[in-house]
Structure 1
Amino acid sequence: MLKHCFYKLTPLLFLLLLTACTASQPKNTHNICEIFREKDDWFDYTQDTYEKWGVPVHVQMAIIHQESRFVADAQPPRPWLLGIIPWFRNSSAYGYPQAQDGTWDWYLEEAGRWVADRDDFEDASDFVGWYCTVSYKRLGISKWDTAKQYLAYHEGHTGYKRKSYLKKPWLLKVSKKVERQARQYNQQLNSCREELESSSWFFW
């Protein structure tokens, strides 16, 4: 009897464990203070990235917000063939940073982070910091210029050099939107940074 109950419970326990391991989206994605209060490690991660790569916290967060809305396993929508058959996705973008397979592999090799995962926020933050640093070195884009950093992030360095974004008015609008989000995040962060730094010091 007990053995039978165990086998019935095992799949349920596995599902519960799997659910517990899946990071949930922050409740308020438009307020950086609320995000960091809810996800108490994220401030430390983004601060570490800032100290390592020099990319401001609000720039990192605005880019990740635009790319995935902080959904750990975000993926592009799957197209439907003939409206009824689920088809292959048009992009390999995945995770918090929506990094494509090739770009992620490049990051793993260049940054030496072979165990990093796109659905791990710490790794996603580091990736954004690394990519923006490469954009600064290759393209001369300030690490504080959210709009241009996002254009390079979206189009790739070659596309940015070719100014491919000029043929995409919608993308220019998105880059301005990301810039506004970064500005808002920065203002919010200024109001709660002392609290977050105190909490961070306390837990360490």
Structure 2
Amino acid sequence: MNCFIGLGRMPRIALLCLVVVFLQACATSQPREPENMCSVFKEKRGWHKAAREAEKKWGAPMYIPMAIIYQESTFRAKVKPARRKLMGFIPWRRLSSAYGYAQAIDGTWNQYLRSTGDYWRVRHDFADAMDFVQWYIRQASKRNGVSRNDAYSLYLNYHEGPGGFAKNTHGSKPWLQKVAIGVQTRSQKYREQYEQCKRSLKPGFFARILGW
């Protein structure tokens, strides 16, 4: 029996909705090889375009926000922090309001929306998360004089907030410094990978005409 027989009779709006749901699921699925920046971008060409546009807009090399997003969510769209346990076993409130690719908390995300005026952006959209991380890097760079190429210090700013970084709150957190070193190492690895594949990721002639 042909399972597609009924599609011709399906109302067009219903079929369109199914297509939209399918495309959204593909767009938000976790990359198969998150350790490899080239594999991520080859699998998700739209992500590469979003990363290039955010880099051009805000100035930090794309491999740094990519490394930060990897650390925060391993490229999972709708991840949230674990819940606290009431009496040791009853699920209770979550540890924070962090959500999405960049694990942005409510207050900081709302500050970003007010600052940019882009109120339509959402945390579970990769392009929006990438723009947010780039925006955050710009704020940290302006406030604390951190180079936009310094992945180690930028991640400490990202985790502690520019105010916390200025107060050296990370100085008493060896575990956090270790994580920041990991982000720096991953950003360097992503940079090396990207140098090997960036030419192959450039859109073709017709794609450039269509703005892809």
Q: Which structure 1 residue ranges, 4+ long, deviate > 4 Å from structure 2?
A: 13-20
Pair 101,200 (structure 1): closer, same or farther in 2 beyond 3 Å: farther
Q: Give SS of 2:103's match.
A: coil
Distance in 1, Cα, partners of 2:89 & 2:133: 36
Distance in 1, Cα, partners of 2:71 & 2:91: 25
> After superposition, what is the alpha-carbon deviation per residue over 1:41-61, rounded to whole angstroms, capped at 9, x for unaligned?
011101101100001110010
Aligned-pair CA distance for 1:203: 2.3
Counterparts of 1:87-166 in structure 2 under 5 Å? Answer: 87-166=92-171
Distance in 1, Cα, partners of 2:24 & 2:88: 34
Pair 172,54 (structure 1): closer, same or farther in 2 beyond 3 Å: same
Q: Is 1:184 equivalent to 2:189 in the alignment?
A: yes
The one of 18, 29, 34 equivalent to 1:24 is 29
> After superposition, what is the alpha-carbon deviation per residue over 1:133-155, rounded to whole angstroms, capped at 9, x for unaligned?
01111010011100000000000
Aligned-pair CA distance for 1:37: 0.6
Q: Is 1:196 equivalent to 2:194 in the alignment?
A: no
Distance in 1, Cα, partners of 2:23 & 2:140: 36
Aligned-pair CA distance for 1:98: 0.4
Distance in 1, Cα, partners of 2:128 & 2:107: 16
Aligned-pair CA distance for 1:16: 9.7
Distance in 1, Cα, partners of 2:189 & 2:175: 21
Aligned-pair CA distance for 1:90: 1.6
Counterparts of 1:57-76 in structure 2 under 5 Å? Answer: 57-76=62-81
Instruction: Report the residue type matching 1:127 in the other structure.
Output: F
Instruction: Report the residue type matching 2:148 in the other structure.
Output: K
Aligned-pair CA distance for 1:112: 1.3
Where in structure 2 are there 5+ consecutive unaligned residues? 1-14
> After superposition, what is the alpha-carbon deviation per residue over 1:109-141, rounded to whole angstroms, capped at 9, x for unaligned?
001110000000000010011000011110100
Distance in 1, Cα, partners of 2:21 & 2:63: 31
Distance in 2, Cα, partners of 1:88 & 1:124: 24
Higher mean alpha-carbon deviation, 106-115 vs 72-81, is at 72-81
TM-score normalised by the chain length of structure 1: 0.89
Aligned-pair CA distance for 1:83: 3.1
Aligned-pair CA distance for 1:17: 7.0
TM-score normalised by the chain length of structure 2: 0.85
Distance in 2, Cα, partners of 1:70 & 1:152: 20
Distance in 2, Cα, partners of 1:107 & 1:200: 33
Q: Does the CA-based 8 Å contact 1:78-1:86 persist in structure 2?
A: yes
User: Where does residue 4 of structure 1 map in the other structure?
Assistant: none
Pair 86,16 (structure 1): closer, same or farther in 2 beyond 3 Å: farther
Count of aligned pairs: 191
Distance in 1, Cα, partners of 2:34 & 2:82: 21
Distance in 1, Cα, partners of 2:35 & 2:102: 17
Distance in 2, Cα, partners of 1:143 & 1:201: 32
Q: Does the CA-based 8 Å contact 1:44-1:200 persist in structure 2?
A: no
